[in-house]
Structure 1
């Protein structure tokens, strides 16, 4: 984790550029193409005979913003425009004795090296030759492999949950990967061409938004923009340049949308509900109805010029409101068991009590825990004294003789194995409502977990001069959910506590041209993300430890929640008593700050 506190201003003073230039000249042994998410446009100018045309004036025109970039063809007829933002361009070539030639609609994708070769005709009457660029099927300027997902694909392809990262699977060799992240992660865990999990890097406008959380073994993003906010992205899989050296496998390189010389916007609402969604094929065949579905993904975009041909803005907002329906089944204690009478366990196990009160089936018999003797042969206890008829409320345990005279010895009275804390916990379990399924599966309930998410992006592009182009973006996301409380009490076992997440992402990209052949590009990025999961009962105005009778010194750790309570060896593999209280990892907060400063000379 690295923080960078150097201030960034819109139009760098010339002395700042000069200082960076001198430092790079001293430190870099050679020049390299500086790209990030930008690319290059290059080509060769020839005459009708195939001879190259040197010293021709070449102009690159952004067809949407009006930006113009100038270059001159070299002795070999080649021209080059470096560090050009993705977009659609026209290439204009002029030379003495030749007609003015224009090639329009040259598409430059993210981190791409586009080629536009022009043939200049001998001049006659003043005229202009205009041709339309043909989409190249083979990249000839580099050996980078990958897949570009452009605006058309993002807009047209179906995304059931509107998660942009799902489109990474369009790239050859990309497949999904199991992870341990659960519901708290954003993005999609994927691997490329057999690489290890969590080895990819996710870039947004040249700055990383990768979540460097190692425990889940996942490729996760701190911030995933709305599909409406992204112009295109590229899954770069191999042979990419050294500037992407942080990644061990692949790079997802996204570029967000910008304003143009005309105002444009949209308003949308993607709705999913029980009426419009299709049922699962297997459920439909079995006659099982579709589970309730409620999801609204809504938002708006707006962008345009601040000053035409010079300054532009783009803003987008997205909100998601959804409910996740879930059904829970488990076993809950009967009224008799809450009072200490567990005789029904023997019957449920298929046994019966003999005249002494012992169950004929071992799994249906309760034993005095103080009577067990450790068996060194198999590492388990040897049961000694059974509890007649499983009536804990009538049984008096001798306890541990070694504890005689201490506060830890059991009182000599019937029911002394019943712990008062455990009895209070059992009273907070719901009553059985599905007795036909047996004592281990006698309770069922359905409920919904509401989810709320809000996020926005704002981007400013500024052309200060023919030499200086700057782009800045700020993104923010905040979300929360409160899982369904299936017990309706503070020992709820069905979901985690309330979950809060946030992300703040800031990036600035600056390109400064010292000469037609010398370019300085700088990228500053900062990402802050965090998550907070609260205890189940954190929103309740009570002291759960005191309510259950736990000693108050347990609160010294600052955790105002119910301890995790596990009930084992009391149910078959498919059902039984649910655990209660908080998950051992269910009350925590984590965050991450990631800073990035990249300066390159080309």
Structure 2
């Protein structure tokens, strides 16, 4: 079977050579008839582009059918002539990318050759009569006139039916983050399934798969076309949406635009949070300026277009409130410190005394100077001084400005080589350096920025040749290159030397002096795991196709070849080569029961480090082939069917042995070879032993170093692990899919009763998505590098030379040996399109898809349910705890799971920590009713609207443990998906406002200049809220203000699964307000396993809806017929409306006693938080009230009104 598939595939490739294309070109078809309905074979059809006068001809075949494939975007005239008939000419025919324009029956009247009949294209030509493909287009006028936040082309997607934006995308400019268009789902498909082309060439960054390498300037865009569902076989490199951005071209006349767009904080409304906190408007500067020029190099033959744009942005980030050490805390005095809204003090023990069950409190919460570690003191000294005095929990406010200077260059040349040959080439070069605090690092509240140089390039070259009226060749080569670096803005700004931390102990020598990762300090943690780093993506694509017309069939055959290289060097991994220092509370001999005190004393719950940084040097090569047929069965019925073939082997490292890649193979793991761990001696809990040799005890520093590490020689620490690229092992940790995958497509378009006003269309098809680089590479790279993972240690212990070389359990990625499926999308649709009076086109459609075999990641070494309850995992010498607090003489009865050995000892694959496996087992289903309408430009008005009622169900969210029935945890396909937005409404229009001068009887040159040539644009989108549910955030002990530790173990007997609250009726409220969006009292704490197993209803709550209301007002001042000046004002959130959608869905409960049977009381409703603080007044009391569960986040408000001023000069 495989050999037969291979032969078919190879035959198609040979037939397609040099075919391979999806350039985003359109086509025109029609049938030539005489007045009696008879076909007119041999009629000559001439297509002429209005702007360049470039023309081509074809002829009607024996069935009267003609086709003009490979038509570039633009406006055309079509002339049909035949001896003995009057010439018929259709003018102003618009062509969009992907569009298949059907001219229907073109009736020639008997007459002389010098006679002609000229008509203008109407809305009838916009009816999709010959294709079932679902597509939408944003026209040139919309691109120019719509209010687009940040002047970002991505926001054009808001008007596409089925698109679900979050309404926050790229307000402040080009989207260069790793999630450039990921906040858009179209027909329920995620952004990383989207294929984005610029002039037919891919510009997708093959890393995040959700951003583009270059970001074309709006001034360079002619239109944006989108294939949304069940598209033809020639499209489908990815299974999601196909977007084609078309660049402007030169014409027979020289045209130029010079432009400048400005924003300034003086024009903007202040942020709501700034007003609330009494802060002034932050600096906000925005300047986009540039120019373009297009025209003929040789008239009717060779044309050029060039666009340059410079972006200068100085934009505020969101205000970040955090906690920073007070002056007293920096010297060890926590006597004035509070830990929660109730003003309660921390409970601090003398180091290690809590472990024994007889904790000794630090007197007065002031740590003795003799216990303060100099490095710990230096760590606290890094944090900034507090600048808020009335909020001890958030006493530091930070708002910085992000800078994004960037330039964009686009040059395009179109060449009409001959009447039968046409070519174009377009080159784009973007360059800039982005500075912010959000990329590649977590700066916490430390000073500094991440600097990201971005030199990005893209090229597309297209060639079209007409061999005969019935055979046309299209070919396309594209190159896509993007590079990004992550660097500190100040080379010395985040170094250990600067902060006096050069002496921080490590096991391996770090590659540089940059600060390590620091976690669980009780303040704003920081991490610079991706600094410095560099990532380069280099992709070449070649595609082409041959279109043949045979009778009533239009047959297309072709394919595509893709070669992608990804080279990335960074240190993003657990611990990194500089180490991760975790000061969280733990059951160690150094712990103080309070994170900030642990920092000062140097008590570490965990230290991690790897020796080498990671390196991706990955490649993939895809080959696609397709064949499709558009069959005009009758004049009113077209069938469109085809099949696409995929050869998409998994992305892999070029030299995995050099990059130390390895994978865990479950079938290779031998329980007999599992190693042992050093554990605490039951007879002497302060000592560590090898269980197989208990007579040898390790105490003191040696015990601290060896605890929970692997006993040398006790087994194979790489049991089941194989080095990728070694003998007999593939270069990838993910199995290759079948050599050839098949994806049929089909559909119909039917005009009932030969109607010229109505078309009914339906179709189906499926496509495949290759597994992303994250799943294919990330979990396997650098796995064989030496690493350490020390638990419950200290800065002092790490600094001490012991001569010991502990072997720590490591994490690996596992290969799914059971399946080689790849993510698959099955599309289907049924729709009716109707032309209404006044040139209005309405479309009513059912759109759906099933997404099967979607990638999910499971930890196959997760601890099974109930394991922590097993008495054999009790840690010797640790008394444990219950819901009242630590067990002691007055509080007896430890809860199972509260005093366990380290998690490593409970994991099923002994000798390993986390083992993540990518399994393509997830399913999603999307169903929608979509209504859209548009009015093409007439009388100065263009309108487009859409409404979508949809449901996205998912079985991919919050799965349980893979060894158990994980589908019970995700809910199968019940309960909706977190990305499910039930209602989406989009309305946009552009309107040339009529001049009132004649009505005012004041019609002269001055009045026409002042009152004439005004235009208005408006874009409104409404998106219903995201689905979510309420979580169990924490439980406070009955006997203190401390939170109960390790809830997962106490409730479910595993740390790898969260308990879910029990839903006791609907949480919906009839009368919502800002502090009471839902009713949390309908939720209760679950029981203990096995009474509760972590399953439960999800996504039963809908977050607040979001909307955008943006407008533009433009005034044109005509100097003469060829020269004009435009003044433009854009208003984003024009009416300065407050838009909140952040909601507190985390509950806090108070234990009523020490056991489960004593029950729990909801603790953090707004009323309860206010009642616990009767002495607070004013803002402080309001803060407590507004942060309760069920309340909306008061200060998390979408951007208030932003005004942009623009100036253009055109000729």
Q: 1:37 aligns with which of 5, 14, 24?
A: 24
Gaps of 5+ in 2: 1-9, 170-174, 548-1211
Q: Is the 8 A contact 2:236 2:242 kept in 1?
A: no
Higher strand share goes to which structure? Answer: 2
Kindly state the Cα deviation for residue 240 of structure 1 after the two structures are TM-superposed: 1.3
C-alpha distance 225-108 of structure 1, shift in aligned 2 (>3 A):
same
The answer to whether the 8 Å contact 1:99/1:128 transfers is yes
The structure 2 residue matched to 1:578, chosen from 507, 524, 536, is 524
- Residues 512 and 539 of structure 1, relative CA distance in 2, 3 Å threshold: farther
Equivalent in the alignment of 1:400:
none
Q: CA deviation at 1:437?
A: 2.8
Alignment of 1:203 onto 2:197? yes
What's the counterpart of residue 238 of structure 1?
229
| 1:343 and 2:335 are equivalent in the alignment | yes
**Inter-partner Cα distance in structure 2 for 1:48 and 1:33:** 41
Question: 1:30-69 counterparts in 2 under 5 A?
Answer: 36-69=23-56
Question: Is the contact between residue 200 and residue 244 of structure 2 (CA under 8 Å) also seen in structure 1?
Answer: yes
CA 1:310–1:330 in 2, change beyond 3 Å: closer, same or farther? same
Q: Match of 2:322?
A: 330
1:422 to 376, 379, 385: 376
SS at match of 1:422: helix
Q: Where in structure 2 are the equivalents of 1:98-497 lying within 5 Å?
A: 98-116=85-103, 117-124=105-112, 126-135=114-123, 136-176=125-165, 183-214=177-208, 219-278=210-269, 291-326=282-317, 327-345=319-337, 363-373=345-355, 382=357, 384-392=359-367, 395=368, 415-438=369-392, 440-483=393-436, 493=446, 496-497=449-450
Deviation, 1:172, is: 1.3
Q: Name the residue aligned to 1:601.
A: 546
**Matches of 1:118 and 1:585, distance apart in 2:** 63
Question: CA-to-partner distance for each residue in 1:541-582, whole Å, 9 max, x for gaps?
Answer: 9763783232587784423311122243x4xxxxxx2224x3
CA distance in 2, matches of 1:321, 1:496: 17
Contact 1:545 1:552 in 2 (8 A): no
Match of 2:337, SS?
helix
Work out whether residues 332 and 372 of structure 2, in 8 Å CA contact, stay in contact via their aligned partners in 1: yes
State the shift of 1:322 in Å: 1.6
Structure 1 stretch displaced more, 202-211 or 550-559: 550-559
- Per-residue deviation at 1:441? 3.1
Query: Could you say what secondary structure the match of 2:155 adopts?
Result: helix
How far is 1:145 from its partner? 0.9
Deviates more, 1:148-157 or 1:278-287: 278-287
Distance in 1 (alpha carbons) for counterparts of 2:67 and 2:82: 16
Shift in CA distance, 525/24, structure 1 to aligned 2, threshold 3 Å: farther
Q: Is the 8 A contact 1:166 1:188 kept in 2?
A: no
Structure 1 residue 236 displacement after superposition: 0.7
Distance in 1 separating the partners of 2:305 and 2:139? 18
Looking at structure 2, the residues matched to 421 and 265 of structure 1 have their Cα atoms a distance apart, in angstroms, of 63
Q: Normalising by structure 2, what TM-score?
A: 0.40
Structure 1 residues 467 and 555 mapped into 2: Cα distance closer, same or farther (>3 Å)? farther
- Offset at residue 287 of structure 1 (A): 9.3
Instruction: State how far apart, in whole Å, the 2-side matches of 1:34 and 1:506 are.
Output: 15
Displacement, 1:131?
1.7
Question: SS at the partner of 2:83?
Answer: coil
- Taking structure 1 as reference, are residues 383 and 196 closer, same or farther at Cα in structure 2, changes over 3 Å only? farther
- Shift in Å at residue 513 of structure 1? 1.9
Separation in structure 2 between the aligned mates of residue 211 and residue 220 of structure 1, nearest angstrom: 6
CA distance in 2, matches of 1:496, 1:331: 20
| Structure 2 CA distance for aligned equivalents of residues 521 and 71 of structure 1 | 16
Separation (CA, whole Å) in 2 of partners of 1:189 and 1:155: 23
Distance 1:219 1:330, change over 3 A: closer
SS of aligned partner of 2:500: helix
Q: Is the 8 A contact 2:20 2:475 kept in 1?
A: no
Secondary structure in 2 aligned to 1:427?
helix
Distance 1:290 1:592, change over 3 A: same
Residues 542 and 165 (structure 1), Cα distance of their counterparts in 2 relative to 1, 3 Å cut? closer
In 2, Cα distance between equivalents of 1:82 and 1:451: 42
| Superposed displacement of residue 185, structure 1 | 3.7
Cα distance between partner residues in 1 of 2:519 and 2:276 = 38
Contact 2:180 2:212 in 1 (8 A): yes
Post-superposition CA distance 1:387-443 (Å, at most 9, x none): 222332xx3xxxxxxxxxxxxxxxxxxx232121222233333333332333x4333
1:170-225 alpha-carbon deviations (Å, 9 max, x no partner): 1111113799x9944434532222234421211111111122325xxx63222221
* Structure 1 alignment gaps of length 5 or more: 1-22, 352-360, 375-381, 396-414, 571-576
Call closer, same or farther: CA 1:31–1:365 in 2, change over 3 Å: closer
Quote how far apart the aligned CAs of 1:275 are. 3.1
Distance, in Å, in 2 between the alignment partners of 1:57 and 1:307 is 27
Q: 1:220 to 1:182 in 2, by over 3 A?
A: closer
Aligned to 1:410: none
Q: TM-score, normalised by structure 1?
A: 0.78
Q: Tell me, yes or no, if the aligned pair for 1:234 and 1:254 is still in contact at 8 Å.
A: yes
Aligned in 2, Cα 1:47/1:484: closer, same or farther, shift over 3 Å?
A: closer
Provide, for residues 482-503 of structure 1, a one-character-per-residue CA deviation record: whole Å limited to 9, x for no partner.
3379xxxx99536652222232
Counterpart of 1:161 in 2: which secondary structure? helix
| CA distance in 1 between partners of 2:538 and 2:420 (Å) | 33
Once residues 285 and 436 of structure 1 are traced to their aligned partners in structure 2, the CA distance between those partners, rounded to angstroms, is 14
Instruction: Note if contact 2:487-2:531 (Cα within 8 Å) is conserved in structure 1.
Output: yes
Separation in 2 of the partners of 1:64 and 1:554?
Answer: 69
User: Using the alignment, how far apart are the partners of 1:125 and 1:162 within structure 2?
Assistant: 51
RCO higher in structure (CA 8 A, sep ≥6)? 1
Matched residues in 2 for 1:138 and 1:128: separation?
25
Indicate the SS of the match to 2:148.
coil
Aligned residues: 525
C-alpha deviation, 1:100, in angstroms: 2.6
User: Are the structure 2 counterparts of residues 556 and 303 from structure 1 closer, same or farther at C-alpha, using a change threshold of 3 Å?
Assistant: farther
Contact 2:33 2:40 in 1 (8 A): yes
Whether contact under 8 Å (1:187, 1:224) holds in the other structure is: no
